[in-house]
Amino acid sequence: MRYYLVPSSDPAFCLALEEYFLSSYDFKNDDGGIMLLWKSSPSIIIGKFQNAYEEVSPLNCMRHNICIYRRNTGGGAVYHDMGNLNFSFIRRYTEQPGYNDFLSPVASMLSSFGIDAEVRDTMILSEGKKISGNAEAFSCGKVLHHGTLLVNADLGELSLLTGHRRDIIRSKAIKSNPYPVKNIGKAGITTEELKYSFIKQFAQEGEFLPNEDMLHEVSTLANSKYDTWEWNWGRSPAFCLENDHVFIEARNGITEHAAIFGDETEALKGQKLTIEGYKDILSDLYDPRTAEIILSEIFE
CA 273 from centre of chain: 20
- Report pLDDT for 175: 77
pLDDT band at 155; cut points 50, 70, 90? confident
In 3D, which of 51, 289, 64, 91 has the Cα closest to residue 205? Answer: 91
What is the pTM for the complete model shown? 0.94
pLDDT band at 156; cut points 50, 70, 90? confident
Domain with CATH 3.30.930.10 in the chain: 2-232
- Between 216 and 204, the more confident residue is 216
Q: Which fold has domain 2-232?
A: BirA Bifunctional Protein; domain 2 (3.30.930)
**38 and 163 Cβ atoms separated by less than 8 Å:** no
pLDDT band at 170; cut points 50, 70, 90? confident
DSSP state letter for 272: B
- Report pLDDT for 94: 87
Distance CA(242)–CA(170), nearest Å, equals 8
SS3 127: coil
Distance CA(25)–CA(288), nearest Å, equals 53
For residues 74-104, b (16+ Cβ closer than 10 Å) or e, as one string? ebbbbbbbebbbbbbbbbeeeeeeebeebbe
